Amino acid sequence: MAVYYREQGPRTVRFATGLQVVRREFFAKYDGGGLGAGYGKEVDVRLDVLYWNLQPEIRMNERGSLVFRLGPQFGWLLNGTMEGSSSSWSQGSPGSTPPTSDTSELQRRYASDFKGDIRFLFGLGFRLPLGEATALTIDPYWSTAVTSMLDPEVASIAMRGYDAGVLVGLSWRHPGQGFWPWLRAGAPGSRTKP
């Protein structure tokens, strides 16, 4: 699910931004601890992540119906669960505490070991007019993570992902000045003095 704001016009590079909710499901195996004790987890994870996409568009044809997009995605974890197994171990102390090892089932719980990530996205956009102000949009994309989804306080390994997909939706064109031109026109010192 996604909602976008995209400027139209004669410029080659145009401002575009949006919000996108993505569900990620995957299997994760990680461990942590120190010299004397540690733990490990093997879990099935489901995350719902909200991404703020900041992706300028580069017009690829004269009509502007084909564009190339690239830019960052900033993610925040909305909700998530994980379930599987958890193990722990301890070397013990010579002559006093024996070594221990234990494995237990990890019931479904909030995915507190994970967080939102930052990604970089590349994509194309096809705009097929359906009327005077509406169009069908087809947006294939590929994104790769630059930060880990696994909290660094939980384990030292980095868990980065990548994905590809296609967004299909409807767009509505509103006449008037775009956000970026409006922002530039309203910036201090940008107006000519009489």
On whether residue 176 sits in a domain, the answer given is yes
Q: What is the pLDDT of residue 187?
A: 52
Question: How confident is residue 153, by pLDDT bands cut at 50, 70 and 90?
Answer: confident
On whether residue 92 sits in a domain, the answer given is no
C-beta neighbour count of 58 within 10 angstroms: 14
On whether residue 69 sits in a domain, the answer given is yes
On whether residue 86 sits in a domain, the answer given is no
CATH code of the domain in which 9 resides = 2.40.160
pLDDT digits (tens, 9 = 90+) for 1-55: 889 888 877 778 888 999 999 999 999 999 887 677 788 899 999 999 999 999 8
Range of the domain at 163: 2-24+47-79+114-186
On whether residue 192 sits in a domain, the answer given is no
Question: How confident is residue 157, by pLDDT bands cut at 50, 70 and 90?
Answer: confident
Mean pLDDT within 110-130? 94
On whether residue 193 sits in a domain, the answer given is no
pLDDT mean across residues, the chain: 84
On whether residue 100 sits in a domain, the answer given is no
Task: Quote the number of domains for the chain.
Answer: 1
The winner for highest mean pLDDT among 119-123, 181-185, 190-194 is 119-123
On whether residue 42 sits in a domain, the answer given is no
CA 122 to chain centre: 13
Distances (CA, A) of 183 to 47, 115, 187, 188, 190: 35, 33, 6, 10, 10
Q: In terms of pLDDT, which residue wins out, 108 or 10?
A: 108
